[in-house]
Amino acid sequence: MTILSIDSGIERTGYAIFKDKKYVTSALIKTSKEKSTEIRLEEIYSKLKEVFKKYQPDVMVLEQLLFFKNQKTFIRVAQAQGIVMLLAAQNKIKVEFLTPLQIKQIVTGYGQADKKSVQKMIRLTTGIKLTQDDEADAVACGLAFNILN
Amino acid sequence: MTILSIDSGIERTGYAIFKDKKYVTSALIKTSKEKSTEIRLEEIYSKLKEVFKKYQPDVMVLEQLLFFKNQKTFIRVAQAQGIVMLLAAQNKIKVEFLTPLQIKQIVTGYGQADKKSVQKMIRLTTGIKLTQDDEADAVACGLAFNILN
């Protein structure tokens, strides 16, 4: 079974691929601030479409959105998540959600863990050194899903 | 010039088409509560894709999202708006935003107008009787855009 975990955002969308619970790859899709939101959404959509084509995931795992202070950023994160979910439906795969608390709890043993601790646990369990937050978040999301299932 | 104005939501998405400032058509896309959010997003996407094909709009007009109390609903509205904006980018047209206050102010002359007053003004200015809120909101959004431009 191949899983695709995604941490979506308008500026940086991280994704990770796991096959039979083993880490395969992960990356970060970046879009330019100079472009309109709709163009950036289209870029994320096109790049993830290629990921679908290449890895043919069986399930998508996302982090449940929680409200945060910056309203403009929050709306864009939700818009980006919408197009990610659209891709899942177009490829006829299910979307599973984990809360940030669940992910941290499962990956580090502590629900309030900071990003550094999450990245350290990823390094210890998979041997991969990730330094980019959103990519690491996508990997953590996939790892947590693998442990839970 | 053809404009497509949309009031997007996961349960009901209203849209309206205006050509050279004249009302052409409007409708409501409904999705079932029984289905997953991603399937519902895909249904909205597919139906709006047909609207694009049929009317080939030159510009898309949307209502700027404002935070409201129901968090779950708000996230879904933003997710639906994301896929609507994706369609604009895929069809290489621009997205313009109006705030709810602007729309009410322009259509009824009063920024705090209720839905009934908006529908009454639509009937008076276009002769069309709309009784479904989200369809009327899309028409109001298009009307306001036409008056502004």
For the residues A117-133, what does the mean pLDDT come to? 88
Domains: count for chain B:
1
Question: Which tokens in the block code for residue A134?
Answer: 């959103």
What is the model's pLDDT at position B53?
A: 98
DSSP 8-state secondary structure symbol assigned to residue B66? -
Whole-angstrom Cα distance, residue A121 to residue B82? 33
Half-sphere exposure in the Cβ direction for A103 (13 Å, CA): 27
What is the model's pLDDT at position A69?
A: 63
In which domain, by residue range, is B37 found?
2-69+77-148
What is the model's pLDDT at position A17?
A: 97
Residue B63 designated active-site: yes
Among residues of chain B, what percentage have pLDDT more than 90? Answer: 76
Give ipTM to 2 decimals.
0.91
Q: Is the pLDDT of residue A127 over 90?
A: no
Residue B42 designated active-site: no
What amino acid is encoded at B116 in this protein?
K
**Nearest partner of B42 among A1, A74, A31, A94, judged by Cα:** A94
What is the model's pLDDT at position B69?
A: 63
Give residue B127's pLDDT band: very low, low, confident or very high (50, 70, 90).
Answer: confident
Taking one residue from A and the other from B, the number of pairs with CB-CB distance under 8 angstroms is 71
Q: Is the pLDDT of residue B71 over 80?
A: no
What is the pTM (predicted TM-score) of this model? 0.93
Question: Which tokens in the block code for residue B65?
Answer: 């999202």
What lies within 8 Å, CB to CB, of B26 at 6+ separation is B14, B15, B16, B17, B128, B130, B135, B138, B139
CB-nearest to B82 from A39, A79, A94 is: A79
Question: Which tokens in the block code for residue A69?
Answer: 């202070």
What is the model's pLDDT at position B46?
A: 98
Lowest mean pLDDT among A104-113, B25-34, B91-100: A104-113
CB-nearest to B85 from A79, A88, A95 is: A79
For the residues B44-59, what does the mean pLDDT come to? 98
Give residue B87's pLDDT band: very low, low, confident or very high (50, 70, 90).
Answer: very high
> Which CATH number characterizes residue A108's domain?
3.30.420.10
Mean pLDDT of chain A: 93
DSSP 8-state secondary structure symbol assigned to residue A92? T
